[in-house]
A and B are shown apart, each in its own frame.
Chain A
Amino acid sequence: MELRVTDLSCRRGGILVLKGVNFALRSGQALVLRGPNGVGKTTLLRTIAGLQPAASGDVTSPDDAIAYAGHADGLKAALTVRDNLNFWASAYGTKDITPALQAFDLAPLLDRQAQDLSAGQKRRLGLARMVVTGRSIWIFDEPTVSLDTHNTQLFADMVRKHLTNGGIALLATHINLGLPDAESLDLSSFRALAESQAETDDAFLAEGF
């Protein structure tokens, strides 16, 4: 299994932010995206997840392999932890939510409504959701926000376990998770230059008006 990104360019709000991104990840590999705020980490992750079209280039992966966790956890405040997880489990056609509960120690909170959870607990629930998807390529956008050191460790363990099971992980984070052989990629070098700006607007930037 492989996630391959070839010559990918991404746009945010009509502006080209990244250009010529290339990397490939095989089973068991993780890649950490780095770079200053606004460089386009979220945009790249959303493009790879298929939420927005690429300006150019390709993302190739096996069908139905990608699971995505963004800034927002997508939790329903009025539902319990159990109902939240169960919903995503059935959306992805998996049944068992116990591994997800174990990964983040959520069992004691099982019947708590999501609105009664602390920010860190919500985040844990949002991350545990990735386990129930049963997908092999995990994409995380700033996963460790509002997690304490202990839970950051749990998260790193979860990803490590996923990798040993042959999964792939792609993360945007500023924290060192201590993942073995995780490569990191600084996106600053792919920053799109002003000259190559916004192909859609090319026609409007031509001379001769």
Chain B
Amino acid sequence: MSIWEYANPVRFMRTSAVLLPWVSVGAALCLSVGLIWGFFFTPDDYRQGSTVKIIYLHVPSAMMAINIWAMMLVTSLIWVIRRHHVSVLAAKAAAPIGAIMTMIALATGAIWGQPMWGTWWEWDPRLTAFLILFLFYLGYIALWAALENPDTAADLTSIVCLVGSVFAVISRYAINFWNQGLHQGASLSLDAEENVSDVFWQPLVLCIVGFILLFVALLLVRTRTEIRARRLMALKLRERTA
């Protein structure tokens, strides 16, 4: 059996129906344990005090914001190359989730930035890049909403996703060049000296896993909705032409 069989809507609906409860429970479990652990059972940072604890929302949402776009790029390309409807509907379903993740990352960043840098908003490269990413999400969603024919919309949004990805990378580089910034380096990396210490790290990983599972659960729900909407459309169409 090949992986492409899941691109069949019926097959996808059946599998996702089985998966959905497990993923949802997993997400709820990871998030509640991770967040409670992180908020109440970790010490305050010696420099940043308790404000550091927003990291448990900020870092996972920021990671998701970028990775969801990457996922949309992959599924859009699968649509362009292999014409699997479920694939492009998954991209469509993922976009609003990605936009919300970007918003969470921006909002938590602003809330964290206020006590740290003394300002709600700073045109820091990372923050700016996320703002631009948010605009990309909006454009992508708006194009889906504007086009009536689902196949035309799928093709055009896939092109936008592809071109947007290239420009997102260029923009990231350009923004770095434009302003060196206040933001600390990535919180998680393998070699950095200033990595967050273990006490913070463990609940953070749990939160990240929770966010990933939450995304998968939401994605499954939304993709199922999109498939049903599409089925409804096809059924209506058949009725009208009968």
A→B interface (CB under 8 Å): 13-15, 194, 197-198, 200-201, 203-209
Please, which residues of chain B bring their CB within 8 A of the CB of A207?
A: 10
Q: Is the CB of A15 within 8 A of B241?
A: yes
Q: Point out the residues of chain A lying under 8 angstroms from B9, CB to CB.
A: 203-204, 206, 209
Residues of B participating in the A interface, judged by any CB pair closer than 8 Å:
8-10, 13-14, 85, 149-151, 227-228, 230-231, 233-235, 237-238, 241-242
Interface of B is mostly: helix
Provide the residues of chain B in CB contact with A13, threshold 8 Å.
149
Residues of B within 8 A of A208 (CB): 10, 14
Interfacial chain A residues near B235, Cβ < 8 Å? 205
Q: Is the CB of B237 within 8 A of A203?
A: no
A207 to B234, CA, bound (A): 13
Inter-subunit contact B151/A197 (CB<8 Å)? no
Please tell me if the beta carbons of A194 and B242 are within 8 angstroms of each other in the complex: yes
- How many A-B contacts if CB must be within 8 Å? 47
Interface centre among B8, B227, B237, B238 (most CB of A within 10 A): B237
Decide: A15 and B237 in contact? CB cutoff 8 A: yes
Identity of the chain A residue whose Cβ is nearest the Cβ of B17 in the assembled complex: A209
Instruction: Tell me the smallest distance from the CB of B223 to a CB of chain A, in Å.
Output: 13
> How far is B8's CA from A200's CA once the two chains are assembled, in angstroms?
12
A14 / chain B contacts, CB cutoff of 8 Å: 149-151, 237
| In the complex, the 9 A-B pairs of residues with the closest C-beta atoms, listed nearest first | A201-B234, A194-B242, A204-B231, A204-B234, A208-B10, A203-B9, A194-B241, A206-B10, A197-B238
- Name the A residues within 8 Å of B241 (CB-CB): 15, 194, 197
| Cβ contacts under 8 Å, B149 to chain A | 13-14
Please report the C-alpha to C-alpha distance between residue A194 and residue B234 in the assembled complex, in whole angstroms: 11
Which residues of B are found within 8 Å of A204, using beta-carbon distances? 9, 85, 227, 230-231, 233-234
The CA-CA distance from A13 to B14 in the complex, in Å, is 29
